[in-house]
Structure 1
Amino acid sequence: MGLDIIISTNNINKIYSGNYFDEKNNYFNQHSLSRTFCNFMSRRHIANGKPELDQIGEITGIDISPIYDMEKYWDDLSAEHQLSFAENTKEKEEIKNRIEADKNSLKGNIDNVVVTISQLIQKLSQIQNLNQILNDYGESTIDYDFYFTDFNIDKGEGYIRNNFGQDLRNFKRFLDYAKSTGATTVFFNYG
């Protein structure tokens, strides 16, 4: 078992209702992000140097902060865990205020995220050697020669062994689908 990254929305119950999980629609394979994408997003917490997403932002000239901001959402379990560290009522209130501010900062972010992902897909589709341009600072948790190559080809099965291009295209397809159901806010959940 590994850690998964899931794109969630303010209307996730509406998205997952009806025939979303009907295999003929193939939404799971068209919308899922790989565990490698989860590792990719976690790199900013462990990389000794500049994480790959930051490097990609510099290479493409794209502001990648809307993607990082998607990690600001606090689900109930995460909020409870964070509140357990409070030593007094004042600290508890400060944590609650920070959690609420983080959630509020994401409201209505879907259009910004769509633009960011679309720009990344457009710019990265023109770069043939991304795996050679990026620097892992000697701490590889991502198979560069697989994940960051063949950007324009879907190498995986929608979840298993996706490359970066496929993950971004799946991300975009999910965002487009979410918007069609009325979603306005998107964020990441890990599980």
Structure 2
Amino acid sequence: MAAGPTERVADLLLAAKYKRMPLPLQVAGLDFDVAGAFVAVGHFADLVVIGDMAAQGERKVLQQVEGIARALDVMRSRRPLTTIAVGPRPVGKTLEALAQVGRILSVEEATDPAELRDQLAVLLPLELPATLSADRDLGAGEALDLSNHPLAIQLLETSKRGEVAVRDEFHEALSAVFAETEAEGDDDGEAEE
């Protein structure tokens, strides 16, 4: 049997290391009948509530989410509230009321896993693409492929002494180039006279 949209959302949040809260959700001693509830772990503090618009109806989901928001306010909680609306997308006054108490993400039926990830991306950890070419990734190789230019070799050696040493060495090399250019310009000027 295929998982329903609520279970697909729950599976994605669990894979992203969210902690599932027992149902009915209890906030400030009150029970709330929602389709699912999760909290982020680590340095994130989001409370994520899943509202099943098809099974519970817009009105019940709205009442539950508004109640949770009020309970969090009474507790003086600083935990952000996010509602994931599964099923028919809320519209009009329902959408407006939900948006006033927290972030709302609508995933409708959530059948395509890639689309579901896109719709919930704001809640998920960032996934960086793999490096396309190891020779372009400065951290991939043990040694950088540098030209045999003396300045490049000199700066690489200086890097063992730290950023400030490299900066000083680079500035000295630039100053030397400018001094040479000025000296050549003066010599050319004297030769013309």
| Shorter-chain TM-score range | under 0.3
If each structure's helix is expressed as a fraction of its own residues, which one has the higher value? Answer: 1
TM-score (structure 2 length as normaliser): 0.21
Bigger Cα Rg: 2
**Structure with more relative contact order (C-alpha pairs < 8 Å, separation 6 or more):** 1
TM-score (structure 1 length as normaliser): 0.22
